[in-house]
Structure 1
């Protein structure tokens, strides 16, 4: 039970006629300084009901509050300040973490229901750039967070393996490419062709027409177009796998846009059956005026389908196959209009589960303040960034710990972890500028700093040869350990909040705060001092190690034992 619940329950006995337990919980505040206790309750909201001055209400209430769970309860103006019993809380927290280990913080909110997560989704024949990092690592972290909240996540890599861009690429390959060049360096050559097509198309309008014609051939099952498409797709997947191997991320499904080719007609039939399809200038649309949205374009005048047609087919397929409790789409903020349309069309079809679909938007990564663009060739390759990060991490490890046994492995864990952590510590809706040198630092609010704190805990426990004892009375009541205990105790609520808000940064911020609090504790307390509290201090180190490792795991990072 966390500190706020203890306070709310104590207050509810005296306030049951006026406020529910939930209302009390919502009113509780964290005092600005520890001198004002651990939790504060403002009584302003009761002044009108009780027709008394807030200070008088606070004084009356304190007399009715049972104080076994608190060191003291005091009134300061219109606030009741609660000082929790450090010994009791630390004992309960350390015991629970020791018993549950890595399951600490796990809950059964999801009741094992399935949650497909549409994530990563790179486009075939284009390299994975830094622009793909966010969807990939946010989606992966959300999968772990949802699992911790009792759901069963399904990671879906909805590949961009269909669309007019393939027609354009085929035109470019036929005009300027060669089989030899593509085989030698598949993605680089296909990107070169794609960029050249767009450069030339600015002065030659016929290229766009040819591109559309080749895509139509692909849609119609033309043999040459299909063979080229399959070749481009196979080569691209091999390249993507290098990046996923570096990130140590795997998927449950690679069903991309092409998978839904034979699943769109039933959607169109359903829209017609419900009289929702309207012909407009030769195209088929669904009117969404009542949702204050632009019409959803379902089929173009030449019969070609669009993203929304496929996403409707994908939503129906996922509901049928996974019977999902929620379906998450980790896609950039600029696509929010598309997902509003998707949900609106599903609502028009009468599917109440449309409300269980959630777009998880995120901001941009910029380089020197500028957006990264594939079309103009201004891209930063993700694989290169990750490899460079590993190199920077290795250089720092060489300087700090040249005798480390498994330097290569640790450099990988630290370098790649640094890039992931830097992304996830930012609120996902925020844009951020990327600088590799800032990211791979062992000091400050970085992944390596949190990982290093974990190794510090591991080192102390090795030195002490410490093992937790079942039933031991671990308990601390010093002010230095209290800040650490409070953050440990807050972990389950942090996990729940991160799941409710689909926000990995909540976990990352907890990891930073816990690492900072522990390092402050380490600087002020002689942990290995032989006295009566030694085993309790080591139990605290053990608990910090477990929770930091879980924080990191939920973000998709590994926790080295040494670095």
Structure 2
């Protein structure tokens, strides 16, 4: 609110040349409290107004008047605003208690639908740490979208088709052991797949054999189909264990193979529109005008590739859900692929093609290198989750052996640690896999946030706080940084969604916890003259931590 008020007044003073939105973008939050709560730099105005920034600051500041502004100062070309702390505190808490669930929510997505293509592990391969990123980023974005009013559809688009399955079929028929597949399916399928990869380096004929088996799969060969269905069934069972641990569900789980009998329609449509061209016997759509390489639609041997399936899937999803945005939460190495998909659809006159957005993210690295199933270098997500839970259980046994629901809390803490370790990073950056960092229960971690939340629960219980009878007049000066931080929640939610960046919310929650713990260290709450007002503030902190963690897909235990 205060930013909008300040921006409106400054824009009015400066005139039409400086619109309110531009002014608001310039407003800063000073790092030092001595420089105020808000600051407006006048340097960008100097050239146009032909005055020094200091003089502009003096002239503008003299005209700023509002009850929320307790003091207005100028320092070296900056206008520094000191807010009326009591007014802002009361306004913030009144706004929160009016409807706690709606605090931070928005309605700009109301009546609109977002489809998210996320997680998408490949069958017959282990669910690695690399797949964690798409899964948890996609889930958090879905929750953020819902907080902004959107309807969401989460699609787990399973990788169950493509040339790699021809290689897998060939590999299993050469070296596979049926009993091993029944006992530990993913391990056995990974073993033969890695063996095939190494063997094909020595003997290129293996590659041809893999292609032949994929062609059989496309031609509905009985043996190929039976094995492929078996591999798929055992893989989905294994994946479900992971999703249950992460508490993540999907509105639709569908494999690429679903579109096998629908791709001919897509190819015919592209042919009718005159977009297909032959290139070395293959069918492609040229994208020269976009300065992109041709998009391969059909190989010379008649097989299709995942571009054909993704184009078909996009058309199907638009017809089914009439989405306003379709988000593909997929690693940045697929950037070219999604550029090609979008531009093929645009050339085919689908006006909604611009609604497709590739939400790229960096790689999960191990010792600075990309994890690879083919090379046999991967870290299994289930192992990491179980180890995190085990370490959390050990910490609980050491620090709080009397905890009643220790097993449940250990799972919430361990899984939360793994999810938060990913989401606290800007999604576009690579993340170095480090079990040690992930399982540290101090600092910038989910356990720190969960412990802070449990601390607020304990305080509220000690003070017998009733959220139906809050006192919103907080006068304690040590509470001011905390009030200013929780007040930012609506702005953080909006930015986190609009920039498709859950790390903005993760960092905000860390700020809330840090300011709360600092406030609590300096302030007596239970038994103080301001007890009920301070507990009213703490309940708002409690609610925001739980709400924020939930949006990130992390549970908040009441006791730790």
Rounded Cα–Cα distance in structure 2 between residues aligned with 1:363 and 1:58:
42
For 2:383, the equivalent position in structure 1 comes to: 384
SS at match of 1:295: strand
TM-superposed CA distance for 1:50, in Å, is 4.1
Q: Distance in 2 between matches of 1:277 and 1:51?
A: 59
Q: 1:535 aligns with which of 527, 532, 536?
A: 532
Deviation at 1:389, TM superposition (A): 0.3
> Greater shift after overlay, 234-243 or 39-48?
39-48
- Equivalent residue runs for 1:272-421 within 5 Å: 272-421=271-420
- Using a 3 Å threshold, how does the CA distance of structure 1 residues 186 and 10 change in structure 2: closer, same or farther? same
For residue 560 of structure 1, report the CA deviation from its aligned partner.
0.8
Q: TM-score, normalised by structure 2?
A: 0.97
The answer to whether the Cα contact below 8 Å between 2:166 and 2:214 also exists between their aligned partners in 1 is yes
Give yes or no for contact 1:127–1:187 (8 Å, CA) kept in 2.
yes
Corresponding position: 1:434 with 2:441: no
Q: 1:312 & 1:55 partners in 2: Cα distance?
A: 57
Aligned to 1:484: 482
In the TM superposition, what is the alpha-carbon distance from 1:269 to its structure 2 partner?
1.0
Match for residue 457 of structure 2?
458
**Separation (CA, whole Å) in 1 of partners of 2:540 and 2:445:** 21
* Aligned counterparts of 2:136 and 2:255: Cα–Cα separation in 1: 19
CA distance in 1, matches of 2:404, 2:533: 31
- In the other structure, the counterpart of 1:112 is 111
Equivalent runs, 1:11-30 vs 2, <5 Å: 11-30=10-29
Q: Normalising to structure 1: TM-score of the pair?
A: 0.97
Q: Secondary structure at the match of 2:154?
A: strand
Question: Is residue 102–residue 547 contact of structure 1 (8 Å, CA) maintained in 2?
Answer: no
Q: Distance in 2 between matches of 1:153 and 1:17?
A: 39
Would you say the 8 A contact 1:131–1:365 is kept in 2?
yes
Alignment-derived partner of residue 517 in structure 1: 515
Structure 2 distance, partners of 1:45, 1:171, is 66
Q: Residues 114-193 of structure 1 correspond to what in structure 2 (within 5 A)?
A: 114-193=113-192
Q: Report the alpha carbon displacement of residue 49 of structure 1 after superposing the two structures with TM.
A: 4.5
CA drift of 1:31 comes to 1.9
The one of 533, 543, 546 equivalent to 2:543 is 546
| CA distance, structure 1, for counterparts of residue 337 and residue 548 of structure 2 | 33
**1:211-226 residue pairs with structure 2 within 5 A?**
211-226=210-225
Structure 2: distance between partners of 1:510 and 1:223: 55
Deviation at 1:48, TM superposition (A): 4.3
Contact 1:128 1:382 in 2 (8 A): yes
SS across alignment from 1:287: strand
Deviates more, 1:57-66 or 1:108-117: 57-66
- Which segment is superposed worse, 442-451 or 203-212? 203-212
Distance 1:367 1:373 in 2: 10
- RMSD of aligned Cα (Å): 1.4
Q: CA deviation at 1:63?
A: 2.7
Aligned to 1:210: 209
Q: Write the distance in 2 (CA, Å) between the matches of 1:524 and 1:273.
A: 73
> How far is 1:276 from its partner?
0.6
**In structure 1, C-alpha distance between the alignment counterparts of 2:82 and 2:294, rounded to whole Å:** 58
Using a 3 Å threshold, how does the CA distance of structure 1 residues 165 and 51 change in structure 2: closer, same or farther? closer
The answer on 1:71 being equivalent to 2:70 is: yes
| Secondary structure in 1 matching 2:292 | coil
Contact 2:471 2:532 in 1 (8 A): no
How far off is 1:266 after superposition? 1.2
Report the Cα distance in structure 2 between the residues aligned to 1:556 and 1:478, rounded to whole angstroms: 34
Work out the CA distance in 1 between the residues paired with 2:180 and 2:22: 67
Structure 1 252/437 Cα, relative in aligned 2: closer, same or farther at 3 Å? Answer: same
SS at match of 1:402: coil
- 1:367 is displaced (CA, Å) by 2.1
* SS of residue paired to 1:528: coil
Question: Aligned residue for 1:425?
Answer: 424
Residue 171 of structure 1, CA deviation: 1.4
Aligned to 2:499: 501
Cα drift, residue 17 of structure 1: 4.2
Tell which deviates more after alignment, 172-181 or 496-505.
Answer: 172-181
Give the conservation status (yes or no) of the 8 Å contact 2:276–2:283.
Answer: yes
Conservation of the 8 A alpha-carbon contact between 1:441 and 1:449: no
Q: Give ranges in structure 1 of 5+ residues lacking alignment.
A: none
Deviations, residues 268-308 of structure 1 (Å, cap 9, x unaligned):
11111111100111000111111011110100000000111
3-state DSSP of counterpart to 2:40: strand
**Cα-to-partner distance string for 1:442-491 (whole Å, 9 max, x where unaligned):** 21000100111111111100111101245x55122443211111111100
Q: Deviations over 1:49-73 (max 9, x none)?
A: 4444333332222332223111111
CA distance in 2, matches of 1:82, 1:136: 42
For the residue of structure 2 that corresponds to 1:328, the secondary structure is strand
Q: What CA distance in whole angstroms lies between the structure 1 residues aligned with 2:46 and 2:200?
A: 71
* Contact 1:427–1:503 (8 Å) recurs in 2: yes
Q: Please identify, of 497-506 and 59-68, the stretch whose mean Cα deviation from structure 2 is larger.
A: 59-68
- For structure 2, the residue ranges without an aligned partner over 5 or more in a row are none
For residue 75 of structure 1, report the CA deviation from its aligned partner.
1.8
Deviation at 1:164, TM superposition (A): 1.5
Contact 1:414 1:447 in 2 (8 A): yes
Distance, in Å, in 1 between the alignment partners of 2:373 and 2:314 is 28
CA distance in structure 2 between the partners assigned to 1:391 and 1:473 by the alignment: 42
Mean CA deviation greater in 16-25 or 481-490:
16-25
Aligned to 2:39: 40
- The yes-or-no answer on 1:555 pairing with 2:552 is yes
Q: Which moved more, 1:47-56 or 1:241-250?
A: 47-56
SS of corresponding position for 2:72: strand
Q: How far apart are residue 382 of structure 1 and its match?
A: 0.7
> How far off is 1:94 after superposition?
1.1
CA distance in 1, matches of 2:453, 2:207: 55
Aligned residue pair count: 560
C-alpha spacing 1:50/1:369, structure 2 compared with 1 (3 Å): closer
Contact kept in structure 1, 2:117 and 2:156, CA below 8 Å? yes
